[in-house]
Structure 1
Amino acid sequence: MGSPSIWRNFAREYRCYLEKMALLRKINRILMVLLVFMVYVILYSRMHRTPSPPSHSDTRVESGGVGGAVGGGGVGGAGGGAAAAAAEDVSEAEDDILVVICAAEERMGGAMTTINSIRSNTDASVFFYIVTLHDTVPYVRQYIEKSELKDIKFKILEFNPMVLKGRVRPDSSRPELLHPLNFVRFYLPLLVVKHRRAIYLDDDVIVQGDIQDLYNTKLQPGHAAAFSSDCDLPSEVVRTMGMQTTYMGFLDYRKMEVRELGINPSDCSFNPGVFVADIELWKRQKITKQLESWMQQNVKHNLYSSAMSGGVATPPMLIVFHGKFTNLDPAWHVGHLGWSPDTQYTEASLSDAQLLHWSGRFKPWDYPCVHMELWEKWYVPDPTRRFSLVRPNS
């Protein structure tokens, strides 16, 4: 038997051991509760989190050409890469001249006329990116494959209008200018993957020259695009348009945000319905992000509206590219033929023009409109008969 002091020490150490074990069990219980709580929070957040916003340009792709098969693919949002396109039976080469054009259902004949005028006046290999909305995709394909355009190389891109949610102020003065496809030009780098350069054209254009000459426009260093100055229009047109060839005609200079830009209101504007873009520079300079920023500024402060001459798609381009674009040869954009049903261009200005643009309210497939015969020369009748010309005797 040991001495009493040894037993007392043993008892004291044993009690300490039991107390430590009790404390460890208590800590373990607390840790277990915390772990269960964290798991609950994670599961709850996953079940109730807000869905992520739509990508900037959620597009689906259809490959086209003779016997073109339906493809798949898409484009991610800003900061996200473009998804790979599905297998194609049409060869899209990097050295093809890429032309991007939108095809709205109600203006389909216009887009097809533009395409026909381009392919009829060049020997170069042209590839068309035709951008439209979901419900119109079959119509685009039928129009092409059942008409004389069936030999073109093309790809149909489906544009998701949800990208514009919260970025476009509702405006009833000219609702046609709020059409989602008017904003496709903002998102070119998210549509164009294989090519370093692209031509964007509105659907109220005909090309009388060789599109390769436009494509080969030399951009000045640091310039992501080339546009045509409105001050380069024929003098008879400039006189009738007044301020609508300057920034005063597009921006509300009563607003502080506009005045702080430091842009002279008498500076010449340009028309973004025809331009050549350097896709790499556009991405590097974050042009799309800048354009979206000005769209959101307009929603907050109403800096421009459809009541002004350019609607809501032109002013962001004018702001972002002010003093930062190369001038196109004036012959490559004789515009505003749709400005008035009465203003006639001289025969010389029309014959020398490489490109004619019926920008304005009066379109060449409607009536009245000036110089319709020049546009109608390239018109491809709709094989589905959904689109038809409006003429005095129709």
Structure 2
Amino acid sequence: MTLRRVNVIILVLLAVAFLIIVQRNLLNLNDLLHKDNPDVEGILPFESELSPDLRLHLARQGEEIPIIITAAEERLGAVIAAINSAYQNSKANVVFTIVTLNETVDHLKYWLGNSKLKNIKHKIVVFNPEILSGKTAGDPEIAKIMKPLTFARFYLPAYIPEAEKVIYLDDDVIVQGDIQDLYDISIKPGHAAAFSDDCDSASVKGIVRGAGNQNNYIGFLDFKKGAIKKLGMKTNTCSFNPGVMIANLTEWKNQNVTQQLEHWMELNAKEDLYSKTLAESITTPPLLIVFYKRHSTIDPMWHVRHLGSTGAGNRYSPQFIKAAKLLHWNGHYKPWGRASSFSNEWDKWYIPDPTGKFNPVRKHAGDS
């Protein structure tokens, strides 16, 4: 037998030995996975293969994506569902800033700490309603129903001073796409924010029937008032919904956006520029004024809205809802309530309250 043949045989034997070792290691790894996760059938530790629950515990690396969301006590379940959906549907290094009131902090901490969201990156910021003193003193009826946290979006740079760009989300949303894609939407130079216009192809289906024309400026502002007339804005300009926003905080600070918003709040308190408009909104109009023709646009599929309005179930097909990147139940009917459309899409992401205080209301077969 020649030396060359001996060398070939030795190489073959080494290759066979190597394959045997690899096979044994894989079998041992499989046994280990079964031991640690008895409900997982033969899943290897690659993130793309893991179930959502397991994916939660993997370390997120790369650029941080800051998300700001408010948390009102009576809607805390909404915040939990929104955070859960945004986190699980992305592999990005998402960091949540949750803006709430002092009386809600303990409940929020307990809910997060006793759920599968306990390991998410987050910080809790307490919003002081005193900052609104003198800025919203208008109609007593409006003041009675005013929710301080609805104005939290006016003060975005205060929550994350070091960030250059953030995503703001209302609590009544569910994120179905990868939040990285929303974050990557470009904001034009000189613009401090991006919104999804109400005249776009997706939201035009969602005009609120019987409540006036709320997809343009005349539905939100009183154009008979002198302060509004002086601005020279066109009444038929497409409005936008600020429930989903990407903000360039550098431009926001350079343009004194917060101060501009506060100016219009104070002026409305004196002159009632928009409190009694068809939309009956006191948070959207200042944003419409300040960002008039000075905002970038978000893909409408990243803000499919009006799901909380009457007849939403007839305006959107189930296929369209599943294709949407983000769902927003703006309107009177919320997905944790009895009469909402597509509440099943919200239920997928809801995590029960360990304290038992928050419970979604569902219509049972015996209800009329």
Question: Where on the TM-score scale, by shorter chain, does this alignment land: which range?
Answer: 0.7 to 0.9
Q: What is the aligned counterpart of 2:222 among 240, 252, 256?
A: 252
1:388 equivalent in structure 2: 359
2:45 equivalent in structure 1: none
Shift of 1:235: 4.2
Residues 192 and 214 of structure 1: CA distance in aligned 2, closer, same or farther (over 3 Å)? same
Shift of 1:94: 9.2
Q: What is the aligned counterpart of 2:318 among 328, 331, 347?
A: 347
Q: What is the count of residue pairs matched by the alignment?
A: 304
Shift of 1:261: 1.3
Q: What is the aligned counterpart of 1:143 among 101, 111, 119?
A: 111
- Does the Cα contact within 8 Å between 1:161 and 1:180 map onto a contact in 2? yes
Q: State the one-letter code of the partner of 1:303.
A: L
State whether structure 2 residue 90 is matched by structure 1 residue 122. yes
- Does the Cα contact within 8 Å between 1:92 and 1:127 map onto a contact in 2? no
2:257 equivalent in structure 1: 287
State whether structure 2 residue 234 is matched by structure 1 residue 264. yes
2:11 equivalent in structure 1: none
Q: What is the aligned counterpart of 2:282 among 280, 302, 312?
A: 312
Runs (5+) with no aligned partner, structure 2: 1-58
Q: Secondary structure at the residue paired with 1:244?
A: coil
State whether structure 2 residue 205 is matched by structure 1 residue 236. yes
State whether structure 2 residue 112 is matched by structure 1 residue 154. no
- Does the Cα contact within 8 Å between 1:98 and 1:198 map onto a contact in 2? yes
Residues 341 and 246 of structure 1: CA distance in aligned 2, closer, same or farther (over 3 Å)? same
Q: State the one-letter code of the partner of 1:260.
A: K
Shift of 1:237: 2.1
1:367 equivalent in structure 2: 338
2:349 equivalent in structure 1: 378
1:107 equivalent in structure 2: 75
Residues 330 and 358 of structure 1: CA distance in aligned 2, closer, same or farther (over 3 Å)? same
Residues 276 and 309 of structure 1: CA distance in aligned 2, closer, same or farther (over 3 Å)? same
Distance in 1, Cα, partners of 2:123 & 2:144: 25
Distance in 1, Cα, partners of 2:287 & 2:139: 19
Q: State the one-letter code of the partner of 1:299.
A: A
Q: State the one-letter code of the partner of 2:112.
A: I
Distance in 2, Cα, partners of 1:176 & 1:93: 45
- TM-score (ref. length: structure 2): 0.78
Q: What is the aligned counterpart of 1:335 among 276, 298, 305?
A: 305
Shift of 1:258: 1.2
Bigger mean CA deviation after superposition, 209-218 or 343-352: 343-352
State whether structure 2 residue 187 is matched by structure 1 residue 219. yes
- TM-score (ref. length: structure 1): 0.73
Q: State the one-letter code of the partner of 2:307.
A: L
Shift of 1:372: 0.7
Q: State the one-letter code of the partner of 2:95.
A: F
Shift of 1:349: 2.4
Residues 308 and 357 of structure 1: CA distance in aligned 2, closer, same or farther (over 3 Å)? same
Query: Which structure is larger by alpha-carbon Rg, 1 or 2?
Result: 1
Instruction: Tell me the C-alpha RMSD between the 2 structures.
Output: 2.1
Shift of 1:149: 1.1
1:37 equivalent in structure 2: none
Shift of 1:377: 1.0
State whether structure 2 residue 264 is matched by structure 1 residue 298. no
- Does the Cα contact within 8 Å between 2:101 and 2:128 map onto a contact in 1? yes
Which residues in structure 2 correspond to 1:29-108 (within 5 Å)? Answer: 95-108=63-76
- Does the Cα contact within 8 Å between 2:60 and 2:91 map onto a contact in 1? no
Shift of 1:175: 6.2
Q: State the one-letter code of the partner of 2:100.
A: T
Q: Secondary structure at the residue paired with 1:148?
A: coil
Shift of 1:174: 6.0
Q: What is the aligned counterpart of 1:191 among 159, 162, 172?
A: 159
Residues 372 and 158 of structure 1: CA distance in aligned 2, closer, same or farther (over 3 Å)? same
Shift of 1:191: 1.2
Distance in 1, Cα, partners of 2:226 & 2:306: 30
Distance in 2, Cα, partners of 1:94 & 1:134: 32
Residues 228-248 of structure 1 show CA distances to partners (whole Å, capped at 9, x for unaligned) of 001113443238365111111
Q: Secondary structure at the residue paired with 1:245?
A: coil
Residues 235 and 313 of structure 1: CA distance in aligned 2, closer, same or farther (over 3 Å)? closer
Runs (5+) with no aligned partner, structure 1: 1-90
Shift of 1:369: 0.9
Residues 185 and 258 of structure 1: CA distance in aligned 2, closer, same or farther (over 3 Å)? same
